[in-house]
A and B are shown apart, each in its own frame.
Chain A
Amino acid sequence: MITVESVSKNFNGKPAVDNISFQVNDKEVLVLLGTSGCGKTTTLKMINRLIESDSGNILIDGKNIRNQKVEELRMGIGFVMQHSGLFPHYTIKQNIAVVPELLKWDKKKTENRTQELLNKLHLSEDILSRFPSELSGGQQQRVGIARALIANSPILLMDEPFGALDNITKADIHSEFKSLEELKNKTIILVTHDVQEAFELGHRVCLMDKGKIIQIGTPKEMLYQPKNEFVADFFAENRLLLEYKVATLKDVDDFNSEKLFDEFNFSENTSVWNALQKLSSNHKNTMQYEMLIKAFNEYRKLQIV
């Protein structure tokens, strides 16, 4: 569990992060969301002390991070950054093995673990001898994730990890991200300015502006119980799409068709958006499609008071 207590940070006298507090529970994905300059990246980097906070405390599992040796703290936290941050002079193999080397793992252990991660992240083995510049952006980002995961640290910090990718690659990685077993056991803080990404990946979303936290909550809460105008406006643009995405089949009680669950591989947690996409892909299911829309509309009415 990560606890941030009244933390502030000034750059040249200007507050970048202004007295914020929040908690991240174990195995939770918290997304820090906001426009650029809102303080989300600063907040993230204070957790592994790439930036030292001016005041306040950050605790990881109850231990103040200030009382730990900074290198040891960082070795225990995976970090993924926007432009992968791979070492251009190291091969992919060496890049993935940086932390194990710092931890003085034996070679065999590093190799096995590398192999395991390559499989999980759908990377082919022959990239190991290549250099980062020879990889595509998506591959680089996967290698960046492998590097952050290799030491099995329970916490993962991700700074706009998919920001530099094209939309198709991004969508692929998003679905992998959600299905990756390895990530389900981790406490993750992810920074992004992409609202859809935040809703897709985050268990909870923390919306920031001008160094302050405006609202923290689940995607549904953000949409249907906005704390103020700012929050409502922030999601106004893609609102309908987001609504379809946050609602799941479980939410939409009226839509009850177990036959369809089997036929289309739906589960209770399938989002309405994905279900509609599947149903609309051929014309046979027009009736179910319309039913689902109707059910969703019923559900929506209840949400918006």
Chain B
Amino acid sequence: MTQQSLWQFIIEQHEKLLTQITQHLGLTFLSLLLAIVVGVPLGILIARKRKLSSSVLGVAGILQTIPSIALLGFMIPAFGIGATPAIAALLIYALLPIIRNTYTGITEVNPTVIEAAKAMGMNKTQLLFKVEIPLAMPVIIAGIRTAAVINVGVATLASFVAAGGLGEFIFGGISLNNTNMILAGAIPAALLAVLLDQAIAVLQKSGYRLFQKLKYIVPAILIIVGAIYLLTSVSENKLKAGFTPEFMGRQDGDLGLRSVYGLNVNPVVVSDAIMYKAAYEKDLDLISGYSTDGRIKAFDLYVLNDDKKIFPPYFAAPIIKTKTLEKFPELEKILNLLSGKFNDSIMTDLNYKSDYLHQTPEKIAKDFLVKNNLYKISRKGNSGTIRIGSKIFGEQYILTEMYKMLIEGNTNYKVETKTGLGGTKICFDALMNDAIDFYPEYTGTGLLVLLKPTEQTIKKVSQSPDETYNYVNSEFQKQYGIQWLKSLGFNNSYALMMRRKQSKELNIMSISDLKNYIDSK
């Protein structure tokens, strides 16, 4: 397979890229506009009533420190998914610099000038609009500038809540191990930040006089771009579909649905962390998901039958460098203790405990090991450290805990866990660079994301779980010196799912049924 250049990728995907840039700008501008509408008057208010200033700035400061993903998470129960929660979250991030700079700008206007204005008989409104705001303008614009740059950055996360933007490429690329895709998202995002920063800097330098000329034009631009974004993001479909960025770019994902089933559902891109809840709350009707996810059970979702077999097997197994196995001779035996102890429903149940019952991964892991008579108290050994990685979802956290307990109970090695690595690419790069020693990977991911063989090979080896396993194991040893240890026994493949009730009502049991339903407009 020839390596595609970044330029080729951009040309091929230019329509998507343009949409994403528009969405990105739309999100940034709309939220910025709202932040100005809210922040500037608030800044003026606290400059007038100084007593309020510490509390208002304090609250805005605290909001600023909430991690952006967590903030998006808080927004979902209130606003559902789509542009609204993203804009609300961005608005909150943009508030602090705008409020603070408005406040500082106005309080630092030379008191002599204010006294002169009062002495000439200006009332408070005239004083504000003729003197204070114009003189504070450079500082206020500096705040807007900071907010704009922050927002271009944070807007990449909007793709988690199906609001689009360049995050679709960035996070899709990270999941898919596609550097071109990452760069096609990241470079425009960086350029947007720089351009916006510079454009506002020009405004700031030319100060009040230019601002007076532009005071109608700038908000107009903000509103128009925002409106375009809102219009483009509204798409009418019979079923609202939301797929993860990874699913969007995979042959065993949206691409396969289009090419094999001929199914185009106009999906929005959404983070898997919120996708299931969104389906449950009817914000989405059709989602991509993982067949062992605990939320399938929790939210009573129905997995559509993949009747044309586009989802290859995804059996989980730890992958580890051969040289690491040699360095820690006891390790292989210990890691294989879990082999065959799982099936899909066991794993779904464990995930259910984590995702829905909110038990800690430690507790779930310990309960499971105790039940299977594998649990031993940690020896607190110190004869070497093994670092376990995990991807950023529940199942991987649970497996990591189990391995940790097994290793520390049966050997004198010490375990360090590096959980929550952002995606396949990050985990695999960490393994290759010896930042971690092993992590649980899935055969299908190894095949399609990491090895990327020809289509014929994929077709041939994805027919049975064993063939896939053997193929990835031998290719990984050849190409990377990495072994696949024994499979754990469950298949966490991709799946399309709907609410059980809706699938019954519409009589959609398989992906082909779904296609027939969508076509029967």
Contacts and interface: CB of A to CB of B under 8 A. Distances in A.
Contact of B115 (A71, A76, A81, A88): A81
B335 to A, nearest CB: 71
Contacts of B118: 50, 74
Contact of A87 (B117, B119, B126, B209): B117
A79 interface: yes
A79 B112 CA distance: 12
Nearest to A85: B116
Given A89-B135, A89-B208, A81 B116 contact: yes
A158 to B, nearest CB: 11
Contacts of B123: 71
Given A50-B115, A79-B116, A81-B112, A87 B131 contact: yes
A86 interface: yes
A147 B116 CA distance: 10
A128 interface: no
Contact of A50 (B119, B135, B209): B119
Contacts of B209: 89
Interface string B89-119: 0000000000000000000001011011111
A260 B260 CA distance: 119
B120 interface: yes
Contacts of A81: 112, 115-116, 119
Q: Identify whether the interface residues of B are mostly helix, strand, loop, or mixed.
A: helix
A95 to B, nearest CB: 9
Nearest to B126: A102
A77 B116 CA distance: 12
Contact of B122 (A77, A86, A88, A102): A102
B119 A48 contact: yes
Contacts of B110: 88
B121 interface: yes
A276 interface: no
A295 interface: no
Interface residues of A, number: 22
A87 B121 contact: no
A85 B121 contact: no
A71 B122 contact: yes
A81 B120 CA distance: 11
A60 B121 CA distance: 17
A77 B131 CA distance: 20
Which of B110, B113, B126, B134 has most chain A Cβ within 10 Å? Answer: B113
Interface centre among B110, B117, B119 (most CB of A within 10 A): B119
B211 to A, nearest CB: 10
Nearest to A72: B121
Contacts of B131: 87
A252 interface: no
Interface string A164-207: 00000000000000000000000000000000000000000000
A213 B63 CA distance: 56
A99 interface: yes
Contacts of A79: 116, 119-120
Contacts of A76: 121
Interface string B122-150: 11001000010011000000000000000
Closest 10 CB pairs of A and B: A85-B116, A75-B121, A79-B119, A74-B121, A71-B121, A89-B134, A85-B112, A89-B208, A71-B123, A99-B120
Given A83-B112, A85-B119, A88-B135, 5 more contacts: A74-B118, A85-B112, A85-B113, A87-B135, A89-B209
20 contacts: A48-B119, A50-B119, A71-B121, A77-B119, A79-B116, A79-B120, A81-B115, A87-B113, A87-B116, A87-B117, A88-B113, A88-B135, A89-B135, A89-B207, A89-B208, A89-B209, A98-B117, A98-B122, A99-B120, A102-B122
